[in-house]
Amino acid sequence: MIGATVALFTLLTLLSVPVAFSVGIAVAIGLALFSPFPMAILIQKMVTGIDNFVLVAIPLFILTGNLMNAGGITDRIFAFVRACVGHMPAGLAHANVGASVVFSGVSGSAVADAAGMGAIEIKAMTDAGYERPFSAAVTAASSVIGPIIPPSIPMILYGVIAEVSIGQLFAAGIVPGLILAVTLSAQIAWMSRGGRFPRDQRARAAAVWRSFRSGFFALATPVVMLGGLLGGVFTPTEAGAVAAGYALAVALLIYRSLSLLDLPRVLVETMITTAIVLFIIAAVSPFSWMLVITRSAAGFVGFVQQLTADPVVVLLLVNLALLVLGAVMESGAVLVLMAPLLVPLAASVGIDPVHFGIIMVLNLMIGVATPPVGMALFVTAHIASIPIERMMRAVLPFIPPMLVTLALVTYWPALSLTLPRLLFGTPHP
């Protein structure tokens, strides 16, 4: 039953059927043809799959990102980072990465980062003389940072599926996200040798101060959210509510860049995105139940353990599988389909589930910026008005630094686990 369901899902995905429909149709046919259970259980499991309070955080973080984009708050973030590093060789490319680090503390989504910051960053870089494909490639690559540094929608999904603390996952993503930013900046520095790219004039201290003062409340958004999360002031779900309320107040009352007439459009965009994400979760919930009743997860663990029980080899195989799947399938679908199989496998060889969650999310976010179907590539190619083929070629130099970061995070668990252990104690004995 599981094999037929997975094969049908893969076929439907390759035929460009939307992910949620692909999963739902595959599971429905699998239940109808190969299961003794009534079809009514499909609806029951879809409902119970999204009946989880933690999932309330998803629309709240999506709303926060939409409010910041609609209110022009992202412009102020990029302006400040540009004033700080724009004078460096390829300074605007570094500013692109730095702005993604700041915005990642708000949106929780790579595609939201690419769409929200991308239009600003690509226009600024091309106006300054950067090649349009390079500008788009930097934007796509830096958007990967978004779901690694908290908040993170993929981490929320993983936490719900694996029954792992969302707060610990958020804390575990901070250091890997910063390492990814450093490796991308190192690649930019290497590519800019010989004065290949232009740079801004060094901003005077007064100009830096003005940009900081102008963007203070925008820059404070991730500080407020992360400070409250890591300080134990509020839960991840409450953090989403605080962030949304803060972004609304800043855009509506402080900067006055958002009007009440804009709110219906922002809310509709949020509802559409939320519906897509939750539809995927609901459609995959019956599949997860099928894995349990057929003991497929246990069988998969046993099969891999017959090949090897060495954690180093297991992690290598997992990374290879997730990189391939992430490059040809939508990352959310891979996460919710593979986590029920891979989490028990990781636990069986002694890999901490918090550490493994960061590995999974980082793998799949690399896929977001990897040809042939990385969503960030299509978003940034559209914004930059370049053919997708040129976009795919331009992003290739940024894949190696992402893989270096993945190797470090995979085989150096302390990078992920030190901070959550300091804040929450040992997550898992």
Q: What is the pLDDT of residues 49-59, one digit of tens each?
A: 777 777 787 78
pLDDT for the residue 298: 63
pLDDT for the residue 358: 94
Q: Residue 195 corresponds to which amino acid? A: G
Given a cut of 50, whether residue 334 has pLDDT beyond it is yes
Given a cut of 90, whether residue 25 has pLDDT beyond it is no
| Residue 401: pLDDT band with limits 50, 70, 90 | very high
Q: Which residue spans within 311-412 are E strands per DSSP?
A: none
pLDDT for the residue 296: 66
pLDDT for the residue 19: 67
Given a cut of 60, whether residue 428 has pLDDT beyond it is no
pLDDT for the residue 134: 92
Average pLDDT over residues 224-239: 75
Average pLDDT over residues 153-167: 85
Closest CA to 265 of 119, 73, 71, 111: 71
pLDDT for the residue 69: 73
Average pLDDT over residues 397-420: 93
Given a cut of 60, whether residue 253 has pLDDT beyond it is yes
- Residues 6 or more apart whose Cβ sits within 8 Å of residue 315: 351, 359, 410, 411
pLDDT digits (tens, 9 = 90+) for 366-393: 988 888 767 778 778 888 888 888 888 8
For the question of whether the overall pTM of this predicted structure is more than 0.75, the answer is yes
pLDDT for the residue 2: 66
Closest CA to 409 of 188, 174, 186: 174
In the chain, the percentage of residues whose pLDDT exceeds 90 is: 13
Lowest model confidence (mean pLDDT) among 36-40, 98-102, 258-262, 389-393 = 36-40
Q: How far apart are CA 260 and CA 278, in angstroms?
A: 27
Residue 360, SS3?
helix
Lowest model confidence (mean pLDDT) among 64-68, 140-144, 225-229, 416-420 = 225-229
Please give the residue that has the higher pLDDT: either 185 or 225: 185
| Residue 429: pLDDT band with limits 50, 70, 90 | very low
The H helix count followed by the E strand count for the chain is: 22, 0
pLDDT digits (tens, 9 = 90+) for 44-81: 878 877 777 777 877 887 888 778 777 777 778 888 88
Whole-number mean pLDDT of the chain? Answer: 82
Q: How far apart are CA 342 and CA 339, in angstroms?
A: 5
Please give the residue that has the higher pLDDT: either 108 or 355: 355
Q: How far apart are CA 45 and CA 40, in angstroms?
A: 9
147 phi and psi angles, rounded to 5 deg: -85, 0
Spatial contact of 132 and 94, defined as CB atoms under 8 Å apart? no
Given a cut of 70, whether residue 295 has pLDDT beyond it is no
Average pLDDT over residues 97-111: 74
Spatial contact of 67 and 244, defined as CB atoms under 8 Å apart? yes
Average pLDDT over residues 221-244: 77
